[in-house]
């Protein structure tokens, strides 16, 4: 069987590469209309982001030949943009950093880059911006890219697509069984809630959000009409590998914001005391615990809680 990379895939990647370099003006003599060509601008940018590094690390990061990198660094030093100082740990290593003039150049370069990309994005509808962000994350992952250390990959909140509802039921059942010991009756409850939402969906008063990160579904939240003046937050969850990134808080805040915009005066939710992380988010966002009751359900003893937020 022929490898698809031998045909259309190669042409598609090369075509996109030509389009992208032309779209961002990477073929011009000075990057983004500035005085520096691409390689020099990348070095200034890396030093501006890192603060201090060595030529060895810089060359590895940018995948530049050591001889070529040395010549470029010499030119930047002669123009007063970078400084070299001996490493106190290893005198054979030189530490690279930006001079005051280099920091000015970095700020100008960073500002032009933000403005150029911002102008491109502002011409798109918000939904297209989300689709672009999503697609770029997928491309980066497929090509072996990784988010910088300490920087979380972006996520987006989007409306549901075919298959998402079933995924929400599946993941609730699997995660709550594994993490809290709930039996299959909990999954049945989630399936009933989702089925009812689909059957009676009111587009004027109800919403569902799917959280997605790097092209993968990692969470959900539902806003359901409870009365003319009250909405209910339901089925909030975040995948274990995506926790700690602010996704749960973003889902809850989006529900609160939307409930206000739709004219609800009150937002309620029901949860259990074992969901410690979720309860902390609800409390931080202004919900208050109004009642609690011990019960046996889903295969174990639990304490159910009613929370409310006046909008």
**Which one is predicted more confidently, 115 or 171?**
171
**Which one is predicted more confidently, 270 or 136?**
270
Compute CA 213 distance to the chain's CA centroid, rounded to the nearest angstrom.
6
- Scan for tokens 């007063």, then name that residue: 80
In this structure, are 83 and 167 located in the same domain? no
Of 69, 101, 123, the residue that ends a domain is: 123
In this structure, are 277 and 187 located in the same domain? yes
**Which one is predicted more confidently, 275 or 53?**
275
Question: Looking at residue 143, what is its pLDDT?
Answer: 72
Q: Is residue 151 in some structural domain?
A: no
Q: In 3D, which of 101, 97, 235 has the Cα closest to residue 165? A: 235
Question: Given a cut of 80, is residue 310 above it in pLDDT?
Answer: yes
- Span 123-155, pLDDT tens digits: 888 777 777 776 776 677 677 655 444 445 578
Structural domain including 73 reads 4-123
Question: Looking at residue 202, what is its pLDDT?
Answer: 92
**CB contact at 8 A, 100 and 82:** no
In this structure, are 163 and 306 located in the same domain? yes
Q: Is residue 226 in some structural domain?
A: yes
The predicted model gives 188-199 an average pLDDT of: 96
Question: Looking at residue 220, what is its pLDDT?
Answer: 96
**CB contact at 8 A, 22 and 120:** no
In this structure, are 77 and 192 located in the same domain? no
**Which one is predicted more confidently, 158 or 23?**
158
Q: Is residue 117 in some structural domain?
A: yes
Question: Given a cut of 60, is residue 276 above it in pLDDT?
Answer: yes
In three-state secondary structure terms, 46 is helix
Burial of 83 (0-12, 13-18, 19+ CB in 10 A): middle
Q: Kindly report which listed range (14-18, 46-50, 288-292) carries the lowest average pLDDT score.
A: 14-18
Q: Is residue 89 in some structural domain?
A: yes
- Span 14-39, pLDDT tens digits: 787 777 666 665 545 444 555 677 78
In this structure, are 84 and 181 located in the same domain? no
In three-state secondary structure terms, 53 is strand
The CA-CA-CA angle for residues 165, 295, 230, to 5°, reads 50
Q: Residue ranges of the alpha helices (H) in the chain? A: 8-23, 38-50, 55-62, 66-78, 100-122, 126-142, 164-180, 184-199, 247-261, 276-284
Question: Looking at residue 106, what is its pLDDT?
Answer: 82
Please count the CA atoms within 13 angstroms of the CA of 262 that sit on its side-chain side: 25
In this structure, are 110 and 241 located in the same domain? no
Domain of 305, CATH number, reads: 3.40.630.30
Domain of 99, CATH number, reads: 1.10.10.10
**How many domains, in total, are found in the chain?**
2
Question: Looking at residue 152, what is its pLDDT?
Answer: 52
Q: Is residue 269 in some structural domain?
A: yes
In this structure, are 172 and 271 located in the same domain? yes
What the block records as the tokens of 120 is: 């491109």
Q: Which residues of 36-75 are buried (b: 16+ CB within 10 A; e: fewer)?
A: beeebbbbbbbbbeeeeeebeebbeeeebeeeebeebbee
Q: Is residue 35 in some structural domain?
A: yes
Q: Is residue 72 in some structural domain?
A: yes
In three-state secondary structure terms, 286 is coil
Enter the DSSP assignment of 99: -
**CB contact at 8 A, 236 and 275:** no
**Which one is predicted more confidently, 301 or 123?**
301
Instruction: Measure the CA–CA gap between 15 and 9, rounded to whole angstroms.
Output: 10
Those residues whose C-beta lies under 8 Å from the C-beta of residue 25, and which sit 6 or more positions away, are 31, 32, 33, 116
Of 100, 123, 146, the residue that ends a domain is: 123
- Span 213-252, pLDDT tens digits: 878 899 999 999 999 999 999 999 999 988 888 899 999 9
In this structure, are 78 and 197 located in the same domain? no
In this structure, are 85 and 212 located in the same domain? no
In this structure, are 35 and 102 located in the same domain? yes
Question: Looking at residue 205, what is its pLDDT?
Answer: 92
Of 101, 123, 145, the residue that ends a domain is: 123
Q: Is residue 142 in some structural domain?
A: no
Question: Looking at residue 198, what is its pLDDT?
Answer: 95
In this structure, are 233 and 108 located in the same domain? no
211 pairs with which residues across the strands? 157, 219
In three-state secondary structure terms, 288 is strand
Enter the DSSP assignment of 176: H
In this structure, are 216 and 267 located in the same domain? yes
């Amino acid at each position: 069987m022929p490898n698809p990379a031998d045909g259309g895939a190669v042409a598609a990647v090369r075509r996109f590469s030509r389009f992208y370099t032309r779209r961002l003006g990477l073929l011009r003599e000075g990057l983004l209309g500035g005085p520096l060509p691409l390689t020099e601008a990348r070095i200034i940018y890396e030093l501006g982001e890192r603060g201090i590094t060595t030529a060895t690390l810089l060359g590895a990061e940018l995948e530049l030949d050591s001889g070529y990198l040395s010549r470029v660094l010499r030119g930047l030093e002669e123009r007063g943009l970078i400084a070299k100082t001996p490493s106190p740990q290893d005198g054979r290593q030189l530490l690279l950093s930006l001079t005051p003039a280099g920091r000015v150049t970095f700020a100008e370069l960073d500002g032009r880059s933000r403005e150029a990309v911002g102008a491109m994005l502002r011409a798109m509808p918000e939904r297209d911006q989300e689709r672009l962000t999503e697609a770029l994350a997928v491309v980066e992952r497929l090509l072996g890219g990784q988010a910088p250390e300490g920087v979380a990959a972006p996520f987006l909140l989007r409306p549901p697509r075919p298959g998402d509802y079933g995924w929400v039921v599946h993941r609730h059942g699997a995660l709550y069984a594994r993490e809290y010991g709930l039996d299959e009756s909990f999954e049945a409850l989630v399936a009933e809630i989702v089925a009812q939402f689909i059957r009676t969906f009111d587009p004027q008063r109800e919403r569902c959000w799917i959280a997605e990160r790097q092209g993968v579904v990692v969470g959900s939240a539902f806003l359901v009409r409870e009365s003319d003046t009250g909405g209910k937050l339901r089925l909030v969850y975040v995948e274990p590998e995506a926790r700690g990134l602010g996704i749960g808080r973003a889902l809850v805040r989006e529900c609160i914001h939307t409930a206000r915009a739709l004219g609800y005066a009150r937002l309620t939710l029901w949860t259990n005391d074992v969901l410690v992380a979720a309860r902390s988010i609800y409390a931080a966002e202004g919900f208050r615990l109004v009642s609690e009751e011990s019960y046996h359900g889903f295969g174990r003893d639990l304490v159910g809680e009613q929370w409310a937020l006046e909008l």
